[in-house]
């Protein structure tokens, strides 16, 4: 991006997605988590449903998955060197961002991270995978103790577990019935 951060999009044919499409954001998160953990092994990164990687409570990386003309487009952004200022109020509000450098982690080359991520996604798309493996690997890297604030409603919910299709089971922090969240 000109500042040392990663912005990369990988396109794979729909036929190359070895899991149901609703699980793809979760798998993409585990792939990027593995790439970053190799380069910054002393930094404790966690996955936040459905598609963010957190470091010290801040957003280190995010993904976007779209389908177009028979291809899945997997976009990833990683704050390697700098983190953007994110407003805490208003329509553009969001989680505080953090970079590997700000967290005093090892700072790999953005080009190396982008290449390793692209190579890992391509290798994954040529292999085999299963829903159970995706769910287990994602769950093992997630923070299940921190409540989530839902962006649209500002409601605070407690994450409970992943459902078989990748939805997240939650319950309101103040109590109430369990329900499932669907990723946009």
Q: What angle do CA 136, 137, 141 make, to 5 degrees?
A: 115
pLDDT digits (tens, 9 = 90+) for 62-116: 999 999 999 999 999 999 999 988 867 777 777 789 999 999 999 999 999 999 9
CA distances from 179 to 49, 102, 129 (A): 15, 36, 27
CA distances from 142 to 34, 39, 44, 65 (A): 13, 19, 11, 19
CA distances from 156 to 84, 88, 103 (A): 24, 15, 26
Range with the poorest average pLDDT among 28-32, 94-98, 119-123: 94-98
- Nearest C-alpha neighbor of 56 from the set 100, 5, 113, 106: 100
Quote the mean pLDDT of the chain: 93
- pLDDT for the residue 9: 97
- Given a cut of 70, is residue 1 above it in pLDDT? no
Q: Is the pTM of this model over 0.85?
A: yes
Rounded to an integer, the average pLDDT of 111-133 is: 96
Inter-residue contact 60 to 54 (CB < 8 Å): yes
């Amino acid at each position: 991006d000109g500042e040392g951060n990663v912005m990369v999009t990988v396109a794979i044919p729909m036929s190359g997605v070895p899991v149901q499409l609703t699980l793809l954001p979760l798998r993409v998160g585990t792939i990027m988590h593995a790439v970053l953990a190799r380069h910054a092994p002393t930094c404790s990164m966690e996955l936040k449903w459905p598609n963010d990687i957190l470091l010290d409570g801040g957003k280190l990386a995010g993904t976007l998955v779209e389908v177009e003309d028979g291809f899945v487009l997997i976009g990833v952004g990683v704050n390697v060197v700098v983190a953007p200022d994110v407003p805490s109020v208003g329509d553009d509000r969001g989680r505080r961002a953090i970079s590997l450098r700000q967290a005093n982690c090892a700072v790999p080359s953005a080009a190396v991270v982008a290449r390793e991520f692209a190579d890992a996604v391509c290798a994954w798309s040529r292999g085999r995978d299963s829903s159970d493996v995706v769910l287990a690997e994602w769950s093992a890297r997630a923070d299940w103790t921190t409540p989530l604030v839902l962006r649209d409603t500002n409601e605070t919910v407690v994450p409970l577990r992943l459902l078989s299709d990748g939805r997240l089971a939650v319950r309101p922090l103040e109590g109430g019935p369990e329900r499932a969240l669907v990723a946009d």
